[in-house]
Amino acid sequence: MAYTEFRRLLAGSGIDIFNKESLDAAKILVPFDLYKSVMDFSEDEECNVIFGSCAYSLKKEELLDWWWAAEEEDYVLKKTGRLVRGGAMLIWPTVIGIQLYMWTMGRGRDNAETFLDVDLYPFRIEGMDVPPLSITWSGFQALPTDDERYPVVSSAS
């Protein structure tokens, strides 16, 4: 889910995934309630235990980076200026995470730098639909408009 959303939100942003400072600007804010819903945890599964274990392992293996995750709305509001019911996590991609994601999505033959190209078709995972505007770019940079990310190409007459 995270890399699909990185791609959807940041395509055409000009972020250089091979530049750490540039990549650090790719932080997205993911509400916990949305994460739990999309991941479709059963009643028998302990979401917090699974999330904690996965987040630790993904960060340790440098497959995903995160600054913090908090269920406390006040903490999220203090850090981001946004009220997010149920808390949120602030995460960003890594180069190796992008490479493995592209491979998983059948684009392993492409260089990872194409991950944010606007002309690369969108990646979709059936059953993991994220409602529009539910995950946002962190606001550390101005969010590009759709016109800026997906310029209209007029045909020559």
The answer to whether residue 143 is domain-embedded is: no
Total number of domains constituting the chain: 2
Question: Are both 13 and 49 inside the same structural domain?
Answer: no
> At how many degrees (to 10) do helices 47-60 and 32-39 cross?
100
Find residue 14's DSSP bridge partners.
Answer: none
* pTM higher than the cut 0.75: no
Domain that holds residue 81: 30-92
Residue 105, classified by CB atoms within 10 Å of its CB into exposed (0-12), middle (13-18) or buried (19+), is middle
Beta partners for residue 7, in sequence order: none
Return the top range by mean pLDDT from 33-37, 76-80, 112-116, 148-152.
112-116
pLDDT class of 148 with cuts at 50, 70, 90: very low
Tell whether 102 and 68 lie within a shared domain.
no
Mean pLDDT of all residues in the chain? 78
Q: Is residue 134 part of a domain?
A: no
Residue 50 half-sphere exposure toward CB, CA atoms < 13 A: 12
| Residue range 69-126, pLDDT digits in tens | 888 888 888 887 888 888 888 888 899 999 998 898 888 888 888 888 888 776 666 7
Cα 72 to Cα 44, 78, 79, 83, 117, distances in angstroms:
23, 10, 11, 10, 35
| Beta carbons within 10 angstroms of residue 50's beta carbon | 13
Going by their DSSP bridges, the two strands 136-137 and 65-70 should be labelled as unpaired
Q: Is residue 148 part of a domain?
A: no
